[in-house]
Amino acid sequence: MSEIQEKIKKTIETHPVILFMKGSKLMPVCGFSGKVVEILNQMDIEFETRDVLQDEELRQGIKEYSNWPTIPQLYVEGKFIGGCDIVVQLYEEGKLEDILWTKPQQK
């Protein structure tokens, strides 16, 4: 595993809910990242973010780590949940609540 892959793995293991996105949760830089942030905020979930625009190695590395070509990427308890479309679908179906609210990071 490369150095960036190790760093990503450690980051994901350290944070119960983490979103790799473009921008920050206070200032998303793309609509897809903003939509996922909006959903997590509406659900009152505590989460961390990493801005892939600040680190090209991270931007490419997270795509390889997850084998998923797009950003944002949401991880919960070390598990890759998906990108914007999947998060939106899970949210609309009421399944995201089950994934997030059964975990210890609930406020």
pLDDT, tens digit, 9 for 90 and up, residues 32-76 = 999 999 999 999 999 999 999 999 999 999 999 999 999 999 999
> Is the confidence at residue 105, as pLDDT, over 50?
no
Cα(38)–Cα(54) distance, integer angstroms:
21
The CATH number assigned to the domain holding 30 equals: 3.40.30.10
In the predicted model, is pLDDT for residue 101 greater than 80?
no
Q: Which domain holds residue 7?
A: 3-101
Angstrom distance (rounded) from CA 82 to CA 74 = 6
Is 73 part of a structural domain of the chain? yes
Give how many domains the chain has, as a whole number: 1
pTM reported for the whole predicted model: 0.92
pLDDT of residue 2: 92
**Is the predicted pLDDT of residue 12 greater than 70, yes or no?**
yes
* Amino acid present at 51: D
